[in-house]
Amino acid sequence: MIPHPAADMHLYLLIAVIAIGVALLLRVRLFRSLFNLLITAALVAVLIVVVIQRGKFDPYFSRLVSALHLGGQEVVGKEVRIRMAPDGHFWARVSVNGVERRMLIDSGATITALSTATASAAGLPVDSPVLPVVLNTANGSITARTSTVPELRLGDIVARDLPVVVSPAFGDTDVLGMNFLSMLKSWHVDGRTLVLEPHHPQQRGA
């Protein structure tokens, strides 16, 4: 029996249609998979940014940032290395008299500055000096009170009896100033990383 040419053409056409359909289906599935992957990655990135930003001011988020190693701070040998944050600043995980905080490292600040909330949480006595302390900020001059931190720890770096200023004008921001940096053996910026080296590193619990 001789096969009919028309029947073969219909068979070939059916096979071609099925092949094209499968190819399109695979492409659609691949596109959907890639799209879902991109959406998931974007959501995770946004979540990480939110956690990092919130961690600067919220001690609970700060612990989460520390636990997940999102803040870019690590101890390498005798050094503490802090990567630059997306906002272009260096933020450190610091223990202020046992209270965990995220602090902005600012070499342009003469003295370390704490918010009233941080000073209160750390149990620091705040004094009103006879001569008021007047600080020049980007928002103008402000009056601050003074205090002393019995122990401030950044990684293996420990500063004791560190003078600080306290003012509600600082809002929720805590700043590590030059009176802290000048106590170090050295500090410098290497690319996008701030490198701090103490004279005598002190491991926690040592």
- Ranges of each domain in the chain: 1-55, 59-197
- pLDDT for position 13: 77
- pLDDT for position 8: 63
Across the chain, the runs of DSSP E, i.e. the strands, are 73-76, 79-83, 91-96, 99-105, 112-114, 133-137, 140-154, 157-166, 175-176, 186-190, 193-197
Contacts of 130 by beta carbon, 8 Å cutoff, 6+ apart: none
- pLDDT for position 67: 53
Q: 157: which strand partners?
A: 154
How do residues 158-181 score in pLDDT, each as one tens digit? 999 999 999 998 999 999 999 999
Contact 114, 96 (CB under 8 A): yes
Fold of 59-197: Cathepsin D, subunit A; domain 1 (2.40.70)
Q: What is the mean pLDDT of the chain?
A: 80
- pLDDT for position 129: 73
How do residues 184-195 score in pLDDT, each as one tens digit? 999 999 999 999
Per-residue pLDDT band for 1 (boundaries 50, 70, 90) equals very low
Q: Is the dihedral of CA 110, 114, 115, 116 positive or negative?
A: negative
